[in-house]
């Protein structure tokens, strides 16, 4: 039986895919703007 590889950590996730992490790169900002235009309730996780 293989071990479960997903051991969720909130801080690690936020640093990697959170709002501030997205705002640091041009592509991330584009993602935020795209989701805003689409009318998403949640922009990031």
How far apart are alpha carbons 6 and 9 in whole angstroms? 9
Q: Which residues contact 14 (CB under 8 A, 6 or more apart)?
A: 20, 21
In this predicted structure, the answer to whether residue 20 has a pLDDT above a threshold of 90 is yes
DSSP string, 5-38: -----HHHHHHHHSHHHHHTSHHHHHHHHHHHHH
24 — pLDDT class (breaks 50, 70, 90): very high
How far apart are alpha carbons 2 and 17 in whole angstroms? 27
Look up the pTM and report it. 0.76
DSSP 6: -
Supply the pLDDT for residue 45.
Answer: 84
């Amino acid at each position: 039986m293989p071990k479960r590889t997903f051991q969720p950590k909130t801080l690690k996730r936020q640093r990697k895919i959170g709002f501030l992490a997205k705002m640091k790169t041009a592509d991330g900002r584009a993602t935020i703007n795209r989701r805003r235009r689409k009318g998403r309730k949640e922009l990031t996780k």
